[in-house]
Amino acid sequence: MSNHVNLTPQESSLIAESHPEALARMDEKALKDLQSRLRQAREKNFSLLRRQGAARVEAEGARGAAQPANEKRGEKVEVFDEALARVNERLETE
């Protein structure tokens, strides 16, 4: 799924840091730093998802009509969720 998501170069780089091979080379401090940055990115996108969704519902007059246009942002949030889950899992094994 992450192949179809339109990430900025910075977001792609951040997600790349969460791949298992990269995580294996990190110490606890680096993992916690990455966890914090991923959380911030996810929160930013989630907040935008909510705001844009609300604005579209207002413009379209119905949630159903507003849904499709907001799916890309939702996919982005999912990508960050998955990356964060990998980091959290790695931290638990530290």
pLDDT, tens digit (0-9, with 9 covering 90-100), for 12-48: 999 999 999 999 999 999 999 999 999 999 999 999 9
Q: Is 82 helix (H, G, I), strand (E, B) or coil?
A: helix
Longest dimension (CA), the chain: 50
8 Ramachandran zone, left/alpha/beta (phi>0; psi -120 to 50): beta
Is residue 88 assigned to a domain? yes
- 42 lies in a domain? yes
Residue 2 covered by a domain: no
Domain that holds residue 64: 9-93
pLDDT at 94 over 50: yes
Q: Does the residue 40 lie in any domain?
A: yes
Structural domain includes residue 46: yes
Number of domains in the chain: 1
Evaluate whether residue 3 is within a structural domain. no
